[in-house]
Amino acid sequence: MSSVQMETNTHTDQLVCMAQAGDRDAFGELVLQHRSGVVNVVYRMCGDPALAEDAAQMAFIRAWQRLGDYRPIASFRSWLYRIAVNLALDELRRSRQVVDIDRLEIPSGAQGMQTSLEQRERQAAVQKAVQGLPPAARAVLVLREYAGLSYHEIAEALDIPAGTVMSRLNYARKCLITNLRPQMEEL
Amino acid sequence: MTIHPDLWLDAYLDGELDAVHSKQVEAHLNECADCRKAIEERKALSALLLDEPVLEACKPASRFTSEVALQLTRRPYRRDITGIRNLAWLGTPVALLLVAVFIFTAGLVQTVVDAFPGARATLEQLVASTASLDFIQGGALVADSVDTLRLMASFAIPEWNVVTFMAALVLTGVLYCCWMVGWLTRNRHSQHMAQISNCIER
């Protein structure tokens, strides 16, 4: 672990400790630190940008409510992502997958950029393939590929053994390789 | 290596394997064209996934944070069970020590009682007959004798043999060790939290 990363972790630990004591400003700083990560994790899980932002806010509120139960044995990030993933799964279950994977939107950030039509089609195909994965495998893939969590952190976040992380990731990648072969060749 | 280390390929690519396993996978990759292809496919997939843009939040950061802040309760929810927890931590070893003392004393009293033929039966009869003595206003001496008899009987009556005696002792010892491990882990966590508090104060 680099010294910069260690310093960041200590700073996060301090903020968490202060937030646990009821410091709302410290929690606000934690929200700012992890906002982008949580929004993206939820978005990759449910595929709806508007829902992702609302669900991310809900995840932070739930994190505040459960902050008393957090112990620094696990990293704060994986603990927070666990809440976010569970919330996204709850949302998916509640809406019974009403998110039509054929009508997935490319986020506005991408539209702002001058992306070519093929690129947009490719991104839509990737999103469709990711959304087509079973939720358990999708959660592992999202936490690894998009959130950059280690296997140990994913195991902590999803409360599963590291071996299960490996097998689910392997399954998810194999499915995606099969479904996205033409796009992979284009790239 | 004739079996394809399918699961290990992902861990190898993600840098999650230790040096020994990494070398094993590398050795296999040198020999196996299929696995080399699988690695290339996984790399291409990662590149494709990362090609997707990061979702930029529609709401500005300040609005996002203030909307969250508006819905926060005054303090994070925390169950105040500190008193019960401390009592449990202190009570557990005391209870275990009492159990161990009971086991030892029961064994000792039983050995003494069993050394005299018929002593156990007499003792049981005595305890049964003393039940009526509760109502006698015979002063402290009588009451104390009755209590002592009852206590002796409670130690002597259980039918301990070597196996149950040892099993009970081992179980008590194991529980005591578990408590010690828990205590050490708890103390380490407390020290960590104290360090963080010190950092904050500074």
ipTM value for the complex = 0.78
Tell me which of A141-155, A168-182, B55-69 is least confident.
B55-69
Residue with tokens 């557990």: B92
A109 in B contact zone (CB under 8 Å): yes
* Cβ contacts of B29-33, under 8 Å, gap ≥ 24: B31/B1, B32/B4
User: For A166, which of B10, B42, B64 is closest by C-beta distance?
Assistant: B10
**The predicted structure's pLDDT at residue A30:** 92
Residues 29-88 of B with CB under 8 A from A: 41-42, 44-59, 61, 64-65, 67-69, 71-79
- Alpha-carbon gap: A94 to the closest alpha carbon of chain B (Å): 22
Q: What is the mean pLDDT of residues A167-187?
A: 88
**The predicted structure's pLDDT at residue A176:** 93
d(CA B67, CA B65) in angstroms, rounded, equals: 5
pLDDT tens digit sequence for B76-88: 555 556 677 778 8
Record the tokens describing residue A63, joined without a space.
Answer: 């994190």
DSSP letter string over chain B? --S--HHHHHHHHTT-S-HHHHHHHHHHHHH-HHHHHHHHHHHHHHHHHHHSPPPPPSS-HHHHHHHHHHT--SS------HHHHHHHHHHHHHHHHHHHHHHHHHHHHHHHHHHSTTHHHHHHHHHHHGGGGGG---HHHHHHHHHHHHHHHHHHSS---HHHHHHHHHHHHHHHHHHHHHHHHHHHHHHHHHHHHHHHH-
pLDDT tens digit sequence for B136-155: 444 444 556 666 666 666 66
User: For B48, which of A72, A108, A183 is closest by C-beta distance?
Assistant: A183
Q: Is the pLDDT of residue A92 over 80?
A: no
> Which residue in A89, A110, A84 sits closest to A31, CA to CA?
A84
Task: Name residues whose C-beta falls within 8 Å of residue B39's C-beta, 6 or more positions apart in sequence.
Answer: B9, B12, B13, B29
User: For A151, which of B16, B56, B58 is closest by C-beta distance?
Assistant: B16
Tell me which of A110-114, A164-168, B125-129 is least confident.
A110-114
